Amino acid sequence: MKELAGQPITLKGWVSNKRSGKGLFFIILRDGTGFCQCVVDEKLVSAESFANAHAATMESAVEITGTVRQDDRQIGGYEVTASSVTLISLAEEYPISKKEHGVDFLMDKRHLWLRSQRQWAIMRIRNSMIFAIHRFFQEQGFMQMDAPIFTGNACEGTSNLFETDFYGDPAYLSQSGQLYGEAMAMSMGKIYTFGPTFRAEKSKTRRHLSEFWMIEPEMAFHDLFMNMDLMESMVRFVVGAVLEERRTELGLIGRDTTLLEQLVHQPFPRITYDEAIRILKGEQEVNGRNSIGTLEEDLAVLNKNMEDLRKEITEREQKIAGGTLKQGEINFNQNKIATLKNDIKELEEKAENIPLWIRSAREFTYGNDLGGSDETVITRLFEVPIMVYDWPHEVKAFYLKRNPENDRFARGVDMLAPEGYGEIIGGGERETDTQKLKLKILEHNLPMQEFEWYLDLRRYGSVPHAGFGLGLERLVAWVCKLPHVRETIPFPRMYGRLFP
């Protein structure tokens, strides 16, 4: 809009909001690329145009012609003074109003919720991340390849797979393209796949979707540490691209970018599983801070914040009860009270979780995999993503190489995002020894016959190789600081949600 200041323009879009004044309508128009306030002055437009502006309901489609004017108070710093308004289609009463709506209602109306400014901004950030991921790998000399979605064998067992009929034979929707990625890497050297992935876990946590998008690079002649270098470089590149391209959108969703800006320049700490467990249990400090003590401090802060919010609610309720406020002031305070109550509800949930996290951390059994709360406790002490490597082999996938210096550990690595978001990437160095791989297949009770093709990769020109899987939606959730992954994808599919 800056380049068009003072010039005529015609916009086609939808009415996302409208308010009126004496002889004026203020229409917030959205056209998919952004939002713009259009001022319709009865003195400057025809009677027909003013009538069209009056008739336009929320989400009605309109065409507005006018002149671009600078106004720093408006979205993007510009608005349009209308000279004509054409009504393209009149919308029925829109079901999503300004009032607070429950999550289930909004998910039922997901096809409409996507039009809201917040969801629009999230999708634009997601798009930038997708494009940045492709740019990163293409510029690094990777070849994009595609793994099948129908598979006859399971990468990590069949318990969490969707089974379907494939012309009379059982088949599964892919939970990972990694095994096929290894085969393609032995052909092309460095490849990555970018496609839908399916997990049939009956989980309703904020981190789980049944259908999501995975980016899975595989590299020949790479070890665990080269793999971690690539993971770090990729995340840094993608976050940097979002900061450069989507400042406006990050602002619209209220994302404080301080920590994101730090990670673009700071190295990501790398710690072993053993170190991670000591940190979790409060036995090892990070920069002078203890995990248990930090959580106890967090709880005290939460309780103080809730006390302040309850005090503010009481003060606003007393103002309303005093009988001196105008109706507009009453409405403002009532809306503010509703917002404050929602804020308290969120803080109460966090306050309830912290004692559970502390108890879980103290009682953690060495050798187990890290749960979501464990990851939250550990990453609380870091402001950038961390990488945890060398895991007990029992809790990792069958195809991971053992640490040659201590075969109790598998050369796996998880990248954990800060701010409570936990695992966003899982990967590692792959086993190259055919006999060791066979033993792991048997140990995991997997059918040997179905993995013969995979074993061929070791029989014919085996080389050190590694790779990882990045869950796009988890990355979007962290970068946008969203409370749930359901907002990270246009139409989420998860346990209990198949429509719309």
Residue 4 confidence (pLDDT): 85
Confidence (pLDDT) at 361? 96
pTM: 0.93
Q: What is the pLDDT of residue 191?
A: 98
Classify the C-alpha dihedral 48-53-54-58 as positive or negative: positive
CATH topology of domain 2-89: OB fold (Dihydrolipoamide Acetyltransferase, E2P) (2.40.50)
CA gap 282, 299 in Å, rounded: 16
Phi-psi region of 287 (alpha: psi -120 to 50; beta: other; left: phi over 0): left
Q: In degrees rounded to 5, what are phi and psi of residue 401?
A: -70, 145
- Residue-wise burial string across 220-248, b where 16 or more C-beta atoms lie within 10 A, e elsewhere: bebebeebbebbbebbbbbbbbbbebbee
* Distance, CA of 154 to CA of 294 (rounded, Å): 41
* pLDDT, one tens digit for every residue, the chain (500 residues): 778 888 999 999 999 999 999 999 999 999 999 999 999 999 999 999 999 999 999 999 999 999 999 988 887 889 999 999 999 999 999 999 887 788 999 999 999 999 999 999 999 999 999 999 999 999 999 999 999 999 987 666 556 899 999 999 999 999 999 999 999 999 999 999 999 999 998 988 888 999 999 999 999 999 999 999 999 999 999 999 999 999 999 999 999 999 999 999 999 999 999 999 999 999 999 999 999 999 999 999 999 999 999 999 999 999 999 989 998 899 899 989 988 998 999 899 999 999 999 999 999 999 999 999 999 999 999 999 999 999 999 999 999 999 999 999 999 999 999 999 999 999 999 999 999 999 999 998 888 998 999 999 999 999 999 999 999 999 999 999 999 999 999 999 999 999 99
d(CA 1, CA 80): 10
pLDDT number for residue 2: 76
pLDDT value, residue 117: 95
Vertex 429 angle, CA 423 and 435, to 5°: 130
Those residues whose C-beta lies under 8 Å from the C-beta of residue 74, and which sit 6 or more positions away, are 36, 37
State the fold for domain 113-266+383-487.
BirA Bifunctional Protein; domain 2 (3.30.930)
As a whole number of angstroms, the distance between CA 496 and CA 210 comes to: 10
Q: For residues 389 and 273, is the Cβ–Cβ distance under 8 A?
A: yes
